[in-house]
Amino acid sequence: MHCPFCRNPDSRVVDSRTSDDGLSIKRRRQCPECGRRFSTVETSSLTVVKRSGATEPFSRDKVAAGVRKACQGRPVSDDDLALLSQRVEESIRGAGSAEIDANEIGLAILGPLRELDEVAYLRFASVYQDFGSLEDFEAAITALRADREDAARTDLVDGSSVSALSAD
């Protein structure tokens, strides 16, 4: 691998470390020519199989670009999208296969997107899950509401246990 400082075509590995999640290896390298050090991160390649059967390497940028369309006019920043794409990649890599259907990427996007922005989630889900009618939207919104009420109920339980503690 080229030295990024002087373009010397050779470098020496001085340290290797596996990441905590076990999904990548970080190598510290030193250039024998200029003596400077730099790091490389090695991950297994992840191939996406499209509906047509064509394959391409997994790309976080493509995930972000796909989600960005659903986020138009919503309070979602580029940082939010970068973090979401990272979570999507981690969940896909965590599943452990080297080849995945494009469809599974859509599925992996739904969860984090729902936490990020419910409107964007509905837009994305309507395209990805091919909503064909108002009933499909209604069902998705009902599911979102039910989860929100569950979350509110949990907050209430937490709140009462906190006040019980402080009464003691």
- Sketch the per residue contact string, 14 through 53, with Zn ion: x for CB under 5 A, - otherwise: -----------------x-xx-------------------
With 0-12 / 13-18 / 19 or more C-beta atoms within 10 angstroms meaning exposed / middle / buried, residue 63 is buried
Residue 69, SS3 per DSSP = helix
| Closer residue to Zn ion in complex, CB, 6/162 | 6
Q: Is 120 in the site for Zn ion (CB under 5 A)?
A: no
Q: Is 137 in the site for Zn ion (CB under 5 A)?
A: no
Stretch that binds Zn ion, among 3-11, 22-30, 100-108, 134-142 (CB under 5 A): 3-11
| Closer residue to Zn ion in complex, CB, 3/140 | 3
Residue 5 in tokens: 């400082």
Closest-CA residue to 109 (of 132, 123, 98, 97): 123
Contact between residue 67 and residue 15 where contact means Cβ atoms under 8 Å apart? no
Q: Is 5 in the site for Zn ion (CB under 5 A)?
A: yes
Closest-CA residue to 101 (of 55, 63, 64): 55
Secondary structure letter of residue 71 according to DSSP: T
Stretch that binds Zn ion, among 4-12, 78-86, 87-95, 141-149 (CB under 5 A): 4-12
- State the minimum distance, in angstroms, from the CB of residue 151 to Zn ion: 53
Stretch that binds Zn ion, among 1-9, 54-62, 69-77, 97-105 (CB under 5 A): 1-9
Q: Is 139 in the site for Zn ion (CB under 5 A)?
A: no
Angle at Cα 8 formed by Cα 6 and Cα 10, nearest 5°?
140
Applying CB under 5 A, the residues found at the interface with Zn ion are: 3, 5-6, 8, 31, 33-34
